Amino acid sequence: MISREPTLERLAVAQALMLEPFGLDEAVLARALACIGEHRVDDADLFFETTRHEGWSLEEGIVKSGSFSIDQGVGVRAVAGERTAFAYSDDLSEASLMDAARTVRSIAAAGQQRRVRVRGARGKLASSRLLYPALDPIATLDSARKVALLEKVERLARAKDPRIVQVMAGLAAEYDVVLVARADGTRAADVRPLVRLSVTVIAEQGGRREVGSGGGGGRCGLEHFSDEVVAGYVAQATEAALTNLDSRPAPAGEMAVVLGPGWPGVLLHEAVGHGLEGDFNRRGSSTFAGRIGQRVAAKGVTVLDDGTLPGRRGSLNVDDEGHVTQRNVLIEDGILRGYLQDSLNARLMGVRPTGNARRESYAHVPMPRMTNTYMLGGQTPPAEIVESLERGLYATNFGGGQVDITSGKFVFSASQAFWVEKGKIQYPVKGATIIGNGPDALTRVSLIGSDLRLDSGVGMCGKEGQSVPVGVGQPTLRIDRLTVGGTA
């Protein structure tokens, strides 16, 4: 059988879902873009999207809720200088599309720059790529098997230990199809599956209760959740809860901290990644602004943002402006090499887009955002890094945190951590918060493990009210002299 080229295949799917049923075609898209271009603008695009989402949840041994939703619409944007005019509609008729285009045209009229030549049907296609299957994950398991999957989580967790007194599990699947039509003639589409299984358990002993969580997913079908994968999620959640039953108050003070591999990369994402997004640096509000080519981290520290990793939660075949995603080197051996860019900020900074334009939905404007952000591994065995601690904290999992982009200061809570003395783990601790400054912390990385690991596929990133799925990762790291806030 001869298969169609991936870009053409995705365009055909998007057109069949969002154009043809509503009497839209290439000629209508060209008219809408030409309407916007009647006033002087630097850029313009149409972003069509349809999303189907299904969710199931289990609690107290019962599947208590199930949900299904469909959303679709189009966002119409014009950019003139630094100004953005934007309108959106959940009606995909030609009348609504042209009305949105006229609205955007009138808003954009005040910010005149130069006229964009709007091309007709002879546009250019986004480059071809296939990072994940173009499937509807909701249809990959029937309802009975979805319920059985959640019930399996319940059985496995309770069988782990009699101290597990409560189990909660959630299963989510999303089918997202987007179509981008740009004023420069670019046409791009993507079919984005996304699944996630989450597990939360509560363990009780002597009147004390502790919570543990696990889970993961990616851009694939629900068959991803094999018996082995599910058992791993359950083990992660139950081990965390049971370990925390024996935790003691966390010591406080300035000390060396070792961060475990994988999900602890969320600290890198928040404390460093956001500061490398193009909009903050163009405005000069990031602590990294104007520092390209300068040393911002210790030797050996290399940080990437890579939207091209097959099947990963943060990966995209094309970004939400139709640019192909890239493997962007942000920091190389401690030297700052670049920022994450969408088209607006790239144009104003005189550089090329990096494939990092993202938006929550058709009802939102794109902005530069991370995809999968991680630090490359080093040469040191992870066990040796823990053994290097004379007195310090070994944090293996994180909960919430926050960062100030301008100063780089961050505060993170460790959901699982251990106190280490003379290179030996002494006991688990609870209530530890890690306080520091992102750029300063990077300069204090003294040991980098050989165990780079990406997270299991659970991350969501928020920025200016928009949430998008992302990935994080890192190897085991030792950071000298961080402030630990504790309860002891």
pLDDT tens digits, residue range 206-230?
Answer: 999 999 999 999 999 999 999 999 9
Other beta carbons less than 10 A from residue 184's beta carbon: 16
Number of H helices, E strands in the chain: 10, 24
Q: How far apart are CA 424 and CA 418, in angstroms?
A: 10
Residue 1 pLDDT class (50, 70, 90 cuts):
very low
Q: Would you state the pLDDT for residue 123?
A: 59
- Burial zone of 240 (CB within 10 Å; 0-12 exposed, 13-18 middle, 19+ buried): buried
Q: What is the mean pLDDT of residues 300-316?
A: 98
Alpha-carbon torsion (395, 467, 172, 135), positive or negative: negative
In this predicted structure, the answer to whether residue 160 has a pLDDT above a threshold of 80 is yes
Reduced to 3 states, what is the DSSP secondary structure of residue 39? coil
Question: What percent of the chain has a predicted confidence (pLDDT) above 70?
Answer: 96
In this predicted structure, the answer to whether residue 275 has a pLDDT above a threshold of 70 is yes
Q: How far apart are CA 158 and CA 127, in angstroms?
A: 49
φ, ψ at 144 (rounded to 5°): -60, -40
Between residues 126 and 26, which one has the greater pLDDT?
26
Between 94-108 and 26-36, two packed helices, what is the crossing angle to 10 degrees? 20
In this predicted structure, the answer to whether residue 126 has a pLDDT above a threshold of 80 is no
Q: Would you state the pLDDT for residue 85?
A: 93
In this predicted structure, the answer to whether residue 120 has a pLDDT above a threshold of 60 is no
Q: What is the mean pLDDT of residues 249-259?
A: 95
H or E element: which one contains 97?
A: helix 94-108
CB 107 within 8 A of CB 85: yes
CB 374 within 8 A of CB 303: yes
Q: Would you state the pLDDT for residue 4?
A: 67
| DSSP H helices in 419-469 | 438-443
Q: Using one digit for the tens of pLDDT, what is the confidence trace for 346-405?
A: 999 999 999 999 999 999 999 999 999 999 999 999 999 999 999 999 999 998 778 888
Q: Would you state the pLDDT for residue 48?
A: 98
Q: Would you state the pLDDT for residue 488?
A: 57
Q: What is the mean pLDDT of residues 36-58?
A: 94
Q: What is the mean pLDDT of residues 114-121?
A: 40
The pTM is what?
Answer: 0.94
Q: How far apart are CA 141 and CA 221, in angstroms?
A: 8
Q: What is the mean pLDDT of residues 79-102?
A: 94
In this predicted structure, the answer to whether residue 2 has a pLDDT above a threshold of 70 is no
Q: What is the mean pLDDT of residues 336-348?
A: 97
Beta strands 424-430 and 248-249: pairing type?
parallel
Q: How far apart are CA 110 and CA 83, in angstroms?
A: 9
Q: How far apart are CA 223 and CA 218, in angstroms?
A: 11
Q: How far apart are CA 308 and CA 318, in angstroms?
A: 9
CB 190 within 8 A of CB 130: no
Question: What percent of the chain has a predicted confidence (pLDDT) above 90?
Answer: 84
In this predicted structure, the answer to whether residue 408 has a pLDDT above a threshold of 90 is no
Q: Would you state the pLDDT for residue 393?
A: 97
Q: Would you state the pLDDT for residue 111?
A: 53
Other beta carbons less than 10 A from residue 421's beta carbon: 12
Reduced to 3 states, what is the DSSP secondary structure of residue 225? coil
